Amino acid sequence: MTERVAIVTGAARGIGLGIATRLAGDGYPVALVDADEAAVTAAAGELAKTGARTIAIAANVTVTDDVENAVSRVAAELGAPTIMVNNAGITRDNLLAKMSDDDWDSVIAVHLRGPFLFCRAVQGYMREAQWGRIVNMSSIGARGNRGQANYSTVKAGIQGFTKALAFELGPFNVTANAVGPGFVETDMTRRTAERLGMSFDDFVKRAADSTPVRRVGQPADIASAVSYLVRDESSFVSGQVLYVSGGPVG
Protein backbone atom coordinates (compact mmCIF):
# COMPACT_ATOMS: atom_id res chain seq x y z
CA MET A 1 0.00 0.00 0.00
CA THR A 2 2.91 2.36 0.62
CA GLU A 3 3.35 3.12 -3.09
CA ARG A 4 -0.20 4.46 -3.24
CA VAL A 5 0.31 8.02 -2.13
CA ALA A 6 -2.61 10.31 -1.34
CA ILE A 7 -3.10 14.05 -1.72
CA VAL A 8 -5.88 15.74 0.24
CA THR A 9 -6.67 19.40 -0.35
CA GLY A 10 -8.24 21.65 2.24
CA ALA A 11 -6.63 19.36 4.78
CA ALA A 12 -5.78 21.75 7.60
CA ARG A 13 -9.08 21.27 9.41
CA GLY A 14 -12.61 19.92 9.25
CA ILE A 15 -13.55 17.31 6.68
CA GLY A 16 -10.19 17.51 4.93
CA LEU A 17 -8.25 16.81 8.09
CA GLY A 18 -10.65 14.00 8.93
CA ILE A 19 -9.99 12.42 5.53
CA ALA A 20 -6.22 12.84 5.80
CA THR A 21 -6.27 11.30 9.27
CA ARG A 22 -8.29 8.30 8.09
CA LEU A 23 -6.13 7.67 5.03
CA ALA A 24 -2.99 7.91 7.14
CA GLY A 25 -4.54 5.43 9.55
CA ASP A 26 -5.29 3.14 6.60
CA GLY A 27 -1.56 3.11 5.86
CA TYR A 28 -1.21 5.57 2.99
CA PRO A 29 1.45 8.27 2.89
CA VAL A 30 -0.55 11.51 2.77
CA ALA A 31 0.24 15.01 1.55
CA LEU A 32 -1.88 17.64 3.27
CA VAL A 33 -2.46 20.69 1.08
CA ASP A 34 -4.03 23.91 2.30
CA ALA A 35 -3.80 27.66 1.78
CA ASP A 36 -3.26 28.15 5.53
CA GLU A 37 0.42 27.32 5.92
CA ALA A 38 0.54 27.46 9.72
CA ALA A 39 -2.57 25.32 10.17
CA VAL A 40 -1.61 22.67 7.61
CA THR A 41 1.92 22.42 9.02
CA ALA A 42 0.52 21.89 12.49
CA ALA A 43 -1.99 19.29 11.25
CA ALA A 44 0.67 17.31 9.40
CA GLY A 45 2.91 17.50 12.45
CA GLU A 46 0.22 15.95 14.63
CA LEU A 47 -0.32 13.16 12.11
CA ALA A 48 3.41 12.50 11.95
CA LYS A 49 3.39 11.83 15.69
CA THR A 50 1.21 8.78 15.00
CA GLY A 51 3.90 7.35 12.73
CA ALA A 52 2.25 8.41 9.48
CA ARG A 53 4.35 9.41 6.48
CA THR A 54 3.06 12.85 5.70
CA ILE A 55 4.06 16.25 4.42
CA ALA A 56 2.39 19.66 4.58
CA ILE A 57 2.18 21.85 1.51
CA ALA A 58 0.91 25.41 1.49
CA ALA A 59 -0.69 26.13 -1.87
CA ASN A 60 -3.45 28.06 -3.52
CA VAL A 61 -5.49 25.43 -5.37
CA THR A 62 -6.56 27.97 -8.00
CA VAL A 63 -3.01 28.81 -9.11
CA THR A 64 -1.51 26.51 -11.76
CA ASP A 65 2.09 26.88 -10.62
CA ASP A 66 1.17 26.22 -6.98
CA VAL A 67 -0.68 23.04 -7.93
CA GLU A 68 1.98 21.69 -10.29
CA ASN A 69 4.75 22.44 -7.79
CA ALA A 70 2.76 20.74 -5.02
CA VAL A 71 2.23 17.59 -7.07
CA SER A 72 5.90 17.50 -8.10
CA ARG A 73 6.94 17.83 -4.47
CA VAL A 74 4.66 14.97 -3.44
CA ALA A 75 6.13 12.75 -6.14
CA ALA A 76 9.67 13.61 -5.05
CA GLU A 77 9.16 13.27 -1.28
CA LEU A 78 6.47 10.60 -0.88
CA GLY A 79 6.12 8.89 -4.24
CA ALA A 80 3.85 9.06 -7.27
CA PRO A 81 0.45 10.38 -6.19
CA THR A 82 -2.26 7.94 -7.24
CA ILE A 83 -5.00 8.95 -4.77
CA MET A 84 -6.43 12.44 -5.18
CA VAL A 85 -9.03 13.87 -2.83
CA ASN A 86 -10.26 17.32 -3.88
CA ASN A 87 -11.81 18.69 -0.73
CA ALA A 88 -10.73 22.36 -0.58
CA GLY A 89 -13.70 24.67 -0.41
CA ILE A 90 -14.96 28.08 0.63
CA THR A 91 -18.35 29.72 0.99
CA ARG A 92 -19.34 33.25 0.07
CA ASP A 93 -23.06 33.08 0.78
CA ASN A 94 -25.45 35.81 -0.26
CA LEU A 95 -28.70 36.32 -2.10
CA LEU A 96 -28.26 36.67 -5.84
CA ALA A 97 -29.19 40.36 -5.81
CA LYS A 98 -26.43 41.03 -3.27
CA MET A 99 -23.80 38.59 -4.55
CA SER A 100 -20.65 40.32 -5.80
CA ASP A 101 -18.50 39.27 -8.73
CA ASP A 102 -15.83 38.18 -6.25
CA ASP A 103 -18.35 36.12 -4.24
CA TRP A 104 -19.13 34.21 -7.42
CA ASP A 105 -15.67 34.01 -8.96
CA SER A 106 -13.81 32.92 -5.83
CA VAL A 107 -16.19 30.04 -5.10
CA ILE A 108 -16.11 28.89 -8.73
CA ALA A 109 -12.31 29.02 -8.74
CA VAL A 110 -11.72 27.03 -5.54
CA HIS A 111 -14.37 24.36 -6.10
CA LEU A 112 -14.02 23.83 -9.86
CA ARG A 113 -10.72 25.21 -11.10
CA GLY A 114 -8.88 23.65 -8.14
CA PRO A 115 -10.02 20.06 -8.82
CA PHE A 116 -9.39 20.56 -12.55
CA LEU A 117 -5.81 21.67 -11.93
CA PHE A 118 -5.04 18.89 -9.45
CA CYS A 119 -6.63 16.14 -11.53
CA ARG A 120 -4.77 17.30 -14.62
CA ALA A 121 -1.51 17.30 -12.66
CA VAL A 122 -1.92 13.82 -11.13
CA GLN A 123 -3.53 11.92 -14.00
CA GLY A 124 -0.19 11.25 -15.66
CA TYR A 125 1.08 9.44 -12.58
CA MET A 126 -2.12 7.41 -12.42
CA ARG A 127 -2.00 6.47 -16.08
CA GLU A 128 1.62 5.38 -15.73
CA ALA A 129 0.78 3.30 -12.66
CA GLN A 130 -2.34 1.91 -14.37
CA TRP A 131 -4.15 2.57 -11.09
CA GLY A 132 -5.71 5.60 -9.52
CA ARG A 133 -8.49 6.91 -7.33
CA ILE A 134 -10.04 10.36 -7.57
CA VAL A 135 -12.60 11.54 -5.02
CA ASN A 136 -14.15 14.96 -5.45
CA MET A 137 -16.22 16.64 -2.76
CA SER A 138 -19.75 17.56 -3.77
CA SER A 139 -22.62 18.29 -1.35
CA ILE A 140 -26.35 17.95 -0.88
CA GLY A 141 -26.16 21.66 -1.72
CA ALA A 142 -25.93 20.57 -5.36
CA ARG A 143 -29.74 20.40 -5.27
CA GLY A 144 -29.90 24.16 -4.74
CA ASN A 145 -30.06 26.27 -1.61
CA ARG A 146 -31.27 29.78 -0.88
CA GLY A 147 -28.39 32.24 -0.59
CA GLN A 148 -25.92 29.81 -2.15
CA ALA A 149 -26.28 30.16 -5.92
CA ASN A 150 -22.50 30.03 -6.26
CA TYR A 151 -22.01 27.06 -3.93
CA SER A 152 -24.90 25.06 -5.41
CA THR A 153 -23.54 25.66 -8.90
CA VAL A 154 -20.08 24.33 -8.12
CA LYS A 155 -21.32 21.34 -6.16
CA ALA A 156 -23.52 20.33 -9.09
CA GLY A 157 -20.70 21.07 -11.52
CA ILE A 158 -18.23 18.86 -9.69
CA GLN A 159 -20.55 15.93 -10.24
CA GLY A 160 -20.43 16.42 -14.01
CA PHE A 161 -16.67 16.84 -13.90
CA THR A 162 -16.35 13.61 -11.91
CA LYS A 163 -18.45 11.65 -14.39
CA ALA A 164 -16.38 12.96 -17.31
CA LEU A 165 -13.20 11.83 -15.56
CA ALA A 166 -14.69 8.39 -14.99
CA PHE A 167 -15.19 8.01 -18.75
CA GLU A 168 -11.76 9.38 -19.70
CA LEU A 169 -9.62 7.63 -17.11
CA GLY A 170 -11.50 4.37 -16.64
CA PRO A 171 -9.47 2.55 -19.33
CA PHE A 172 -6.36 3.19 -17.22
CA ASN A 173 -7.88 1.53 -14.11
CA VAL A 174 -8.58 4.94 -12.59
CA THR A 175 -11.91 5.52 -10.87
CA ALA A 176 -13.48 8.90 -10.18
CA ASN A 177 -16.29 9.40 -7.70
CA ALA A 178 -17.87 12.21 -5.73
CA VAL A 179 -18.94 12.31 -2.10
CA GLY A 180 -21.85 14.55 -1.16
CA PRO A 181 -21.90 15.38 2.54
CA GLY A 182 -25.02 16.49 4.31
CA PHE A 183 -24.76 18.72 7.37
CA VAL A 184 -21.34 18.17 8.98
CA GLU A 185 -20.08 19.96 12.07
CA THR A 186 -17.18 22.09 10.83
CA ASP A 187 -15.94 25.66 10.92
CA MET A 188 -17.77 26.21 7.64
CA THR A 189 -21.18 25.26 9.04
CA ARG A 190 -20.43 27.35 12.11
CA ARG A 191 -19.93 30.37 9.86
CA THR A 192 -23.22 29.60 8.12
CA ALA A 193 -24.99 29.71 11.48
CA GLU A 194 -23.41 33.10 12.14
CA ARG A 195 -24.61 34.35 8.76
CA LEU A 196 -28.13 33.28 9.62
CA GLY A 197 -27.95 34.89 13.05
CA MET A 198 -28.40 31.58 14.89
CA SER A 199 -26.47 30.00 17.70
CA PHE A 200 -24.49 27.03 16.46
CA ASP A 201 -26.19 24.70 18.96
CA ASP A 202 -29.61 25.69 17.63
CA PHE A 203 -28.36 25.34 14.07
CA VAL A 204 -27.07 21.83 14.75
CA LYS A 205 -30.28 20.82 16.51
CA ARG A 206 -32.43 22.03 13.63
CA ALA A 207 -30.29 20.07 11.17
CA ALA A 208 -30.39 16.93 13.31
CA ASP A 209 -34.17 17.13 13.70
CA SER A 210 -34.60 17.21 9.92
CA THR A 211 -32.23 14.27 9.31
CA PRO A 212 -33.72 10.75 9.32
CA VAL A 213 -30.98 9.34 11.58
CA ARG A 214 -31.54 12.30 13.93
CA ARG A 215 -27.97 13.46 14.13
CA VAL A 216 -25.60 15.59 12.10
CA GLY A 217 -22.47 14.34 10.42
CA GLN A 218 -18.89 14.39 11.64
CA PRO A 219 -15.73 14.59 9.51
CA ALA A 220 -15.09 10.91 10.29
CA ASP A 221 -18.35 9.97 8.55
CA ILE A 222 -17.15 11.52 5.30
CA ALA A 223 -13.67 10.07 5.76
CA SER A 224 -15.12 6.56 6.00
CA ALA A 225 -16.79 6.96 2.60
CA VAL A 226 -13.57 8.23 1.05
CA SER A 227 -11.65 5.34 2.61
CA TYR A 228 -13.91 2.89 0.80
CA LEU A 229 -13.74 4.68 -2.55
CA VAL A 230 -9.94 4.61 -2.69
CA ARG A 231 -9.60 0.88 -1.99
CA ASP A 232 -9.09 -1.91 -4.49
CA GLU A 233 -12.48 -3.27 -3.43
CA SER A 234 -14.19 -0.25 -4.99
CA SER A 235 -12.66 -0.77 -8.44
CA PHE A 236 -16.08 -1.33 -10.07
CA VAL A 237 -17.52 1.87 -8.61
CA SER A 238 -16.85 4.90 -10.79
CA GLY A 239 -18.67 8.02 -11.90
CA GLN A 240 -20.94 7.85 -8.86
CA VAL A 241 -22.12 10.38 -6.28
CA LEU A 242 -22.26 8.93 -2.78
CA TYR A 243 -24.35 11.11 -0.51
CA VAL A 244 -23.33 10.82 3.13
CA SER A 245 -26.20 12.70 4.66
CA GLY A 246 -28.01 10.56 7.20
CA GLY A 247 -30.89 9.82 4.84
CA PRO A 248 -32.03 9.81 1.21
CA VAL A 249 -31.35 12.79 -1.01
CA GLY A 250 -34.06 13.56 -3.53
Exactly one of 28, 125, 151, 243 is catalytic; name it.
151
Per-residue pLDDT, 2: 47
Q: Using CA atoms, how far apart are residues 29 and 64, in angstroms rounded to an integer?
A: 24
Q: Which residues of 1-16 are buried (b: 16+ CB within 10 A; e: fewer)?
A: eeebbbbbbbbbbbbb
243 catalytic? Reply is no
* Alpha-carbon separation of residue 132 from 76, 162, 175, 177, 228 (angstroms): 18, 14, 6, 11, 13
Per-residue pLDDT, 78: 97
The long-range contacts involving 51-59, CB below 8 angstroms and separated by at least 24 positions, are: 52/24, 52/25, 53/2, 53/24, 53/29, 53/78, 54/20, 54/24, 54/29, 54/30, 55/31, 56/31, 56/32, 57/31, 57/32, 57/33, 58/33, 58/34, 59/33, 59/34, 59/35
Per-residue pLDDT, 47: 97
Per-residue pLDDT, 1: 47
pLDDT along the chain (250 residues), means of 10: 86 97 97 98 97 97 98 98 98 95 98 98 97 98 94 98 98 98 91 86 92 95 98 97 91
Per-residue pLDDT, 221: 97
For the chain, give me the number of helices (H) and strands (E)? 9, 7
User: Which residues are registered as beta bridge partners of 58?
Assistant: 34
